[in-house]
Structure 1
């Protein structure tokens, strides 16, 4: 069965040898691998060190194509990849150049590896909300090149969502699906906040398990959660024996399966699907959730249904 992955950060997918080559080419220090993370906030600090190596549109193109090749080896037919523009790099390169690099990669990935790649850029909590609006406007300008969604990431619980909602509303007004991160480091209220802003899908969302009424609402509305089992475990929000996905799926919540940042969490799509199966989410259920949550056009959806 073909696999659908809806939650992978391209910046966190770069394997060490490729990251080292890119860093050297850009005359930057080579980041050292980190064996463990204390929590989401420590992970974000290390993620920023890693992503600082990516400096050119060609870097962005390359990491999309490289990850599509990896994902294809693990059975992926469709990816929705995330990228998070940095304000300083945007000032140096321009947001359109950053977007173009990723869009070029998405087009090349499908042509070269047969994997359909769609893009979901995001703003992040803690950044200037005005910058978030600029990212949203740039995302809208690239709708015809594979941008299908717009997200909100960053340090859950440390910054409120409200300042970032205008950019989310702008993206939605122009047809982009909203895919905020919520319900990982923060509790069920963060999931409710994501729903209030009009989320098409929620990235993580696993703390909804603490609120039976919220779980019932997610199931009834068929709101897909992008669950990344290894990521949750490595950050200390779950264990291999006790992961919220088991209870969520039993409650009828649709759970897609993804890698999140596979290079940083030492995982791949096959490992995530195997772990999900051990936790009670079958390959068929994961595909159904992925198909239900995908932000692609109907022609692409029909193509995936036939796989």
Structure 2
């Protein structure tokens, strides 16, 4: 029995390394001579499933380093694009972390090449537009951060649309990365930092004041500061919200406690996203179901995705037309085929 995705979805926040399927990971490990902690896809799926934050870090570093070559990165993009499309995705902006591979001796150019090839393959084979947003991992040398920004600019004609900032938000505030983001901005590349997930409103304010963001990834802790919440609404600043991820990582204890309703009530535009779907055992339709249970309207989520997407105008117009043509009133209940 297959649940048919009842409405089109735009996803703007998914870490591709965190979306890798166990089957793809096993194949890459065999090709690259990398030893995984378990031997089968079923065992790997269970090993990677989130238990607590320490286990998440342990399983991430025990598995994702198997991805080492341009082929691995290309196949990763195509595999996730296929899965997301089956759940209604019509446009993706996906994250990858080139600075994480440096300690393994993998050149950032190799990482960019593979992921950009994957975005092209998704368009050619699936008809799905995928854009890319490489993350600077907080804590890297600032020269590495600036080199990441230069590479983002160099690959902007191959699907890179923005520079991100991820990693240990509470330990590394956004301000030191201002120069890297200025390089990206000068080269025509957008800004999509993580902020306001683990750290509070000060992290969001720091990003707003120093990184000139086009969107904020997460941003949910803005509800702790009414003035900041009003500012985000007044700016029309789109937040990439990940409800089930926030539960897994302890940002909120339960989905029912998520601040999404307060963000919506304040007029802040939000999108709904998977973050790390393999590790958090969720797919795009699961995240949408959680958001809808909190009062999110699918059409408003789609419109926020159109507003927040950093694609070229022609793609944005196609997305807007798709949203206008869809029967949103008839999409509240998923249909089922057998």
User: Would you say same fold, with TM above 0.5?
Assistant: yes
Structure 2 residue 18 is matched with structure 1 residue 12: yes
- The runs of 4+ residues in structure 1 deviating greater than 4 Å are none
Once residues 93 and 277 of structure 2 are traced to their aligned partners in structure 1, the CA distance between those partners, rounded to angstroms, is: 14
**Taking structure 1 as the reference length, what is the TM-score of the superposition?**
0.95
Alignment of 1:1-307 (within 5 A): 1-31=7-37, 32=44, 33-39=47-53, 43-86=56-99, 89=102, 92-196=105-209, 197-238=211-252, 239-307=254-322
Identify unmatched segments of 5+ residues in structure 2: 1-6, 38-43, 323-338
Once residues 108 and 231 of structure 2 are traced to their aligned partners in structure 1, the CA distance between those partners, rounded to angstroms, is: 37
Identify the range of structure 1 (155-164 vs 67-76) with the bigger mean alpha-carbon deviation: 155-164
Once residues 101 and 244 of structure 2 are traced to their aligned partners in structure 1, the CA distance between those partners, rounded to angstroms, is: 31
Over 3 Å counting, the alpha-carbon distance change for 1:73 and 1:88 in structure 2 is closer
SS at match of 1:181: strand
Over 3 Å counting, the alpha-carbon distance change for 1:14 and 1:193 in structure 2 is same
Identify unmatched segments of 5+ residues in structure 1: none
Once residues 104 and 276 of structure 1 are traced to their aligned partners in structure 2, the CA distance between those partners, rounded to angstroms, is: 32
1:87-142 alpha-carbon deviations (Å, 9 max, x no partner):
55488443222211111100100111111000101111111111111111111001
- Indicate if the aligned counterparts of 1:24 and 1:30 stay in contact, CA closer than 8 A: no
Larger radius of gyration: 2
Over 3 Å counting, the alpha-carbon distance change for 1:168 and 1:221 in structure 2 is same
1:40-90 alpha-carbon deviations (Å, 9 max, x no partner):
x76345433332111001100000000010011001110001000135548
Once residues 196 and 130 of structure 2 are traced to their aligned partners in structure 1, the CA distance between those partners, rounded to angstroms, is: 26
